[in-house]
Amino acid sequence: MFAAGALLLIIGAATGFAGGYWIAVRRPRVPVPPVTPTPKPLPPPPRPSLYPMQVLRGEDIAALLERDALELADELRPFLTDVARQHGATEVTLWRHSGGDGGALEIVAWSGDGMLPLAALWGTPPERALVQWSAAEQMVGFERRDGEPRVAICPVRFASGESAGAIVLITAERFGTSRDALRDWLPRHAAQVGRLVSLFSTRNEVARQSRFTRALLRIARDLQRTHQPDVLEKALCSYAVEVTGGEFALLVRWDAAQRAGRVAASSEQTPETLREGLVTPGSVAGTACVEGSAAFWEDARFLAERGGLLREDDRGIVAGSMAVLPMMRGAQSIGALVVGASRPGVLRALEIRNGSVLSALAVNALEAAWELAESSRRSRTDALTGLWNRRHFDEQLERVLAETDRFGGSCALVIADIDFFKKVNDTYGHDAGDVVLQRVSAVLHEGVRTVDVCARLGGEELALILPQTSPEGAMELAERLRQRIEAMTVAHAGAAIGVTVSMGVATYRAGDDGKGSMFKRADERLYAAKHGGRNAVVG
């Protein structure tokens, strides 16, 4: 007796939860063009098995929705058959909006066996129009033939009151129940169908939420095991897609002190315009980070009027539904997960709550990984110029040489030395020397690719490692950089300081004997450039 009472309490709570949820989160009316449904065989096939810890990816969600639709038709058939028998109907069908509130209707269950009837081919055009009208206007309707009702229609609502569609009775000759009796009985049948559909949906939501909970527990363990920032960032975007049912996700790293951020990582399906770049405080994502509050839109299309997702001047919102979930450390945001889908209504409040849990779980692991990476970067960076230091240079040169042997091609090394640097220090002071060194370093850093390595070896000596670069390409780059430096003037304390550099260039081709002597050869050519008159490139 106690178990039965507990079961009734659980079912009642679940129904109340579904009702409260749909009252609190009303979906906007989105017109959906009629789509001819594909016939579905009945009874449903066996349930597809999902690995117990597998997270619901997009294709899994599609499979589950297909399975749920088949199960719903199977669950409702006995009730619809009883309704048909009670009123002498040839068949009873349940029509439901295919795209949420409003829009086209499709047949999702019926009293017959075999394949579901196609809504586009059911009955006559006037009868189909009457079904649409009855569902839209929430009114009981009858289609007569020879003075007798041939079709009887009653709108159906969920327990929360949201419009669901209509229950339709049709007969070949005449119903076994009078028109007045049908008008009295149809609302009762429709209310019962609404309750059954609501209970079915609630049961599926509870089961789905259980799968999400198990997934979140697994993700929490994975996050603690991952310490590489790039791996963790990418995984977090994938997890966000999985637990919310979105189509894409991106991770924003936010600097609260600077009131600015950048895109740290993105999932595979993220639109190209959102994959990288700065995030400004006036954008949708930036505003959520500044205010530290989650934002969710089932229909995000109107947000284009507010400006860009990442920057005020970008191309606007690219999603039909979207959520921005800040990751908070105390009262400050360290970043945010942005989840989107191309169509309105794909993201729902229940799954977005899972995304909020995910962002909270990720804060500690992500912040620790970022701090470790920053600490490592500082230990490998020259404090004055911001370039890599000698330690990092040595490691990267060894890596590039090994990759050249593995993948073929050639790489290059350029060593540069500022001409008469001691004279600059003696004439203008060490502060001026520091400014000159910083300006030259900036020219070198800005003039190379992101895959190249720009380092300060010590003093006024700088170096460039150029992966997959030919001897001709290395010489051309070095000469171009030399000319830029020669053309600039460094202003300091009222003085205009002219600067030149000398450069030595060495290259290595996969399989050659000069791998171990590459640095020595570049240094010797730098020495030759110095003794040949300076302000020159020798290769």
Span 199-220, pLDDT tens digits: 888 887 777 667 667 766 777 7
DSSP 302: G
Q: Which two tokens stand for residue 418?
A: 């500022």
Instruction: Identify the residue with better confidence: 158 or 400.
Output: 400
| 312 SS3 class | coil
Q: What are the extents of the domains in the chain?
A: 31-206, 228-378, 390-538
CB within 8 Å of 417: residues ≥ 6 apart: 460, 461, 462, 501, 502, 503, 526, 530
Q: How far apart are the first and last CA of the chain?
A: 92
Span 398-431, pLDDT tens digits: 999 999 999 999 999 999 999 999 999 999 999 9
Q: How confident is the model at residue 307 (pLDDT cuts 50, 70, 90)?
A: low
Looking at the predicted structure, is the pLDDT value of residue 14 above 50? no
Which pLDDT score is estimated for 372?
A: 79
Structural Rg of the chain based on CA atoms: 34
Which pLDDT score is estimated for 290?
A: 93
Q: Which two tokens stand for residue 74?
A: 């199977």
Catalytic residues: 460
The residue count of the chain comes to 539
User: Are 380 and 391 contacting, i.e. CB atoms less than 8 angstroms apart?
Assistant: yes
User: Are 387 and 462 contacting, i.e. CB atoms less than 8 angstroms apart?
Assistant: yes
Looking at the predicted structure, is the pLDDT value of residue 255 above 60? yes
Architecture of domain 390-538: 2-Layer Sandwich (3.30)
Looking at the predicted structure, is the pLDDT value of residue 15 above 50? no
Q: What is the mean pLDDT of residues 11-25?
A: 39
Residue listed under structure tokens 């993948």: 407
Which pLDDT score is estimated for 239?
A: 86
Q: What is the mean pLDDT of residues 107-133?
A: 90
Which pLDDT score is estimated for 37?
A: 40
Q: What is the mean pLDDT of residues 326-337?
A: 91
Residue listed under structure tokens 């009123």: 87
Helical segments of 278-408, H only:
284-291, 349-379, 390-407
* 228-378 homologous superfamily: GAF domain (3.30.450.40)
Span 67-96, pLDDT tens digits: 778 888 888 999 999 999 999 999 999 998
Average pLDDT, the chain: 82
For the ranges 137-141, 142-146, 408-412, the one whose mean pLDDT is highest = 408-412
Q: Which residues of 323-349 are buried (b: 16+ CB within 10 A; e: fewer)?
A: bbbbbbeeeebbbbbbbbbeebbbbbe
Estimate the share of the chain in helix, then strand, then coil, as percent rounded to the nearest 5.
45, 20, 30
Q: How confident is the model at residue 306 (pLDDT cuts 50, 70, 90)?
A: low
For the ranges 142-151, 371-380, 479-488, the one whose mean pLDDT is highest = 479-488
Q: What is the mean pLDDT of residues 443-447?
A: 94
With residue 528 as reference, give the H or E element that holds it. helix 518-531
Q: What is the 3-state secondary structure (H, E, C) of 233-285?
A: HHHHHHHHHHHHCCCEEEEEEEECCCCEEEEEEECCCCCHHHCCCEECCCCHH
One-character DSSP codes across 121-166: TSS-HHHHHHHHHHHHHT--EEEEETTEEEEEEEEEE-TT--EEEE
Which pLDDT score is estimated for 318?
A: 67
Residue listed under structure tokens 């030919």: 470
Span 44-65, pLDDT tens digits: 333 333 222 334 444 455 676 7
Span 340-367, pLDDT tens digits: 988 888 887 777 887 888 888 888 888 8
Q: Which two tokens stand for residue 386?
A: 């911001």
DSSP 295: E
Give which of 518, 478, 520 is closest to 502, Cα–Cα: 478
One-character DSSP codes across 445-460: HHTS-TTSEEEEEETT
Which pLDDT score is estimated for 13?
A: 42
Compute CA distances 452 → 128, 219, 387, 412, whole Å.
67, 35, 12, 10
User: Are 451 and 412 contacting, i.e. CB atoms less than 8 angstroms apart?
Assistant: no
Q: How confident is the model at residue 524 (pLDDT cuts 50, 70, 90)?
A: very high
Which pLDDT score is estimated for 162?
A: 59
Which pLDDT score is estimated for 89?
A: 94
d(CA 529, CA 504): 7
Q: What is the mean pLDDT of residues 107-120?
A: 90
User: Are 109 and 72 contacting, i.e. CB atoms less than 8 angstroms apart?
Assistant: yes
Looking at the predicted structure, is the pLDDT value of residue 40 above 70? no
Which pLDDT score is estimated for 272?
A: 86
Span 242-252, pLDDT tens digits: 888 889 999 99
Q: Which two tokens stand for residue 518?
A: 């590459």
Which pLDDT score is estimated for 314?
A: 73
User: Are 455 and 519 contacting, i.e. CB atoms less than 8 angstroms apart?
Assistant: no
Decide whether 31-206 matches 390-538 in CATH topology: no
Q: How confident is the model at residue 161 (pLDDT cuts 50, 70, 90)?
A: low
d(CA 474, CA 465): 10
* 31-206 homologous superfamily: GAF domain (3.30.450.40)
Compute CA distances 469 → 439, 481, 509, whole Å.
25, 16, 10
Backbone phi, then psi, for 464, in 5-degree steps? -125, 130
pTM of the shown model: 0.50
Q: How confident is the model at residue 103 (pLDDT cuts 50, 70, 90)?
A: low
